[in-house]
Chains A and B, each alone.
Chain A
Amino acid sequence: MNLTLRDFKLRYRNSVLGFFWSLLNPLLMMVIFSIVFSFLFREGVSDYPVFVLPPILLWRFFSVSTMYSLDTITGNYQLVTKIYFPRWLLVLSSGLANLLGSSLEFVACFPLLIIFGMKLNYSLLSVPLIIIEMFILILGLSLALSSLNLFYRDFRQIWEIALQAGFYFSPIFYSPSIIPSNISFEYSLNPLTQAVESIRDAMYYGVFPSVENFAFVLLAGGVALLIGVFFFRRAERKFGDAV
C-alpha cells in the first residue's frame, strides 16, 4: 500500500500540476483527432469528441501502465538488491498507482464529456468494470514485461513499437465498421479492440457492452495473468543477480 502511494507520488511529483499535465495529453489528442476527423475528413460521426475521448483514456491506461511496468524491477534496484520481499508487490503497486491515476483521469473528463454531448445512461455503470478487467490484462502483461526488460534492456524499444502499432490496429479514433469484413475476425482477436468497443458502447452509444466483448477481454486478461505469473516466477530467481 505504501509502495503504491510512493509510485503515485513519484509519478505526479506530489503536485496537482503533475496530474494536470497527465490530463492535458489525452485532451490534446482528442482535440487533434476531432479537428482531423470531423473537419478535415468529415467522418460523419456525431459528437466526435465523445466518440474518441473514452477510448483514448482507456488506451492511455494501457500504454502508460505497461510502459511504466518495464521499469518496476530495474528502476527499484536499490530495494531489490538490499532486502527481500515478494517482488511482484513492485509490479502490483506500480499497476495500482496507474489504476488510480487513470480512474482520476476518467473522473476529471466526465464533466467535459457531458458538455460535448454524452448522455447520462445506466450503461455508464459498466465503465468501472471495463477498467478493472483492463487492469487484469495490464497486470499480466506487466509481470512479463518487467522481467523481460531486466534481461533484455532494449525491450523498451520493441514494446514502444508494439504500442504504436496497437494504437492504429485498435478502433480508437475510427469506427471498426471501416474494417473490411474478410479480416474482421482477425481484427477482433485484439483484446484492445474489444475493450475499446466496450467502453464506446458504455459511454458513447449508451448501451451496455456486449457480453462477448466483455468476456473476451476478461479471458485475455486471465491468459495474460497466467503467462505473466509463469514468466515472473521463473525470472524472479535471477532478479538479484541481473539487476
Chain B
Amino acid sequence: MVSFSSEELKENLGTRFEMNAAIVEDLWKAYRIPHKKKESILENIASFLDMFESRRLDYEDFWAVKGVSLRIRKGESLGIMGVNGSGKSTLLKLIAGTIRPTRGKIDVRGKIAPILELGLGFHPELTVRDNVKIYASIMGLKNREIKNRMESILKFAELERFGDAKLKNLSSGMQMRLGFAVAIESNPDLFVIDEALAVGDIGFQTKCLDKFRDFQRNGCSIVLVSQSPAMISDFCHSALIMSRGEVVASGDARSISTKYITLTSPA
C-alpha cells in the first residue's frame, strides 16, 4: 500500500496544476445579429409587437467560436492565425474574461494580462500617470509597488517626458507602448496579445519581443494573435489556425505557419 503524506500530496497536486496555464474545453460563443437594432425600451416594445404579428424571430445567431478546445502549458507560447473574422479575437476575449462563453469551459490559472485591440482601458481625460495607477491597481499591484515601478513603466514606454500629459494627447503608437509597459510591469502569468504589436515601430517591437523572451524563460505563458507567420514561427512554440470559428490546424509553430502561408496565398 502506498501512502502519501499530505505534504507530498500537495506537491503532486501543485505540479499538476502548474503544468497548465490555461485550459479551454469545447468553447462556443454565439452573437445575436438582430435584424433591427434596438437599444431602447420603446424600440423593444415596438419590435416585440412586430414579432407577434409576423410570427418570426427578429434575430439570427452567429457562432463566432465553435467548439474550440486548447491547452496552454506553463511557459508555452501559442500563436493563433486566421483570416479576419475567423474568431481569433473573440477567442482571446473569452480567455481574458471580458466576455462569457455561450457554452464551454475556460480555466485560467494565475494572473492574466490582456492586450486586446489597441490600448488598455485607458481613460482619455486622465494623465498618463493616473492611467497607469488605475490599470496597475486593477492588475493587482499595491500602491507602493505602483509608485516604485512608475518610472520604469514610463521609461519602457519611452514616455518619461509625457507623464503628466493627458492620454488623449498621445499618439496611438504611444498609447500602445504605454499599454505594453504596464502589462509587462504587472508580472502576469499569462499574456494575451491581440495583434497589438503591429502598431509599434521596429525598435519597440524588438524591445518587447526581447522582454517576452525573458518572460518565456521565467515560465510565463503567452497567447499571441498575429497576421505575421514569421513572427509566430520565430516566437511561439506551437500554433493553430482558425477558420470560421473552428480550429482547422494545430501543431508546432514552424509547420503551422508554413501551412498558413500556403493556405492564404492566392491560388
Contacts and interface: CB of A to CB of B under 8 A. Distances in A.
B126 A9 contact: yes
A80 interface: yes
Contact of B98 (A1, A2, A240): A240
Contact of A84 (B39, B40, B98, B130): B98
Contacts of A151: 39
Given A81-B116, A154-B42, A240 B138 contact: no
Interface string A204-243: 0000000000000000000000000000000001101100
B114 interface: yes
Contact of A78 (B31, B40, B114, B122): B122
Interface residues of A, number: 25
B125 interface: yes
28 contacts: A1-B143, A2-B143, A6-B130, A9-B130, A10-B125, A78-B119, A78-B121, A78-B122, A78-B123, A80-B98, A81-B98, A81-B116, A81-B117, A81-B121, A82-B117, A82-B119, A82-B121, A83-B96, A83-B138, A84-B98, A85-B138, A151-B39, A152-B41, A153-B40, A154-B40, A158-B41, A240-B100, A241-B31
B41 A82 contact: no
B22 to A, nearest CB: 13
Contact of A79 (B44, B93, B130, B138): B138
A3 interface: yes
Nearest to A79: B121
Interface of B: 31, 39-42, 44, 93, 96-100, 112, 114, 116-117, 119-123, 125-126, 130, 133-135, 137-139, 143
Given A152-B39, A241-B31, A82 B114 contact: yes
B119 A155 contact: no
Contact of B123 (A6, A81, A155): A6
A2 B96 contact: no
Contacts of A81: 93, 98, 116-117, 121
Given A78-B121, A82-B114, 11 more contacts: A3-B137, A3-B138, A10-B125, A10-B126, A82-B116, A83-B116, A152-B44, A154-B41, A155-B41, A240-B98, A240-B99
A7 to B, nearest CB: 10
Nearest to B99: A240
Contact of B121 (A83, A158, A237): A83
Contact of A1 (B41, B120, B137): B137
A85 B112 CA distance: 11
A151 B138 CA distance: 25
A84 B31 CA distance: 20
Contacts of A2: 133-134, 137, 143
A154 B41 CA distance: 7
Given A78-B121, A84-B96, A240-B100, A3 B134 contact: yes
B120 A83 contact: yes
B40 A152 contact: yes
A3 B112 CA distance: 20
B137 to A, nearest CB: 4
B137 A82 contact: no
Nearest to A242: B39
A158 B138 CA distance: 33
A84 B121 CA distance: 10
Contacts of A82: 98, 114, 116-117, 119-121
Contacts of A152: 39-41, 44
Given A152-B40, A153-B39, A241-B31, A80 B96 contact: no
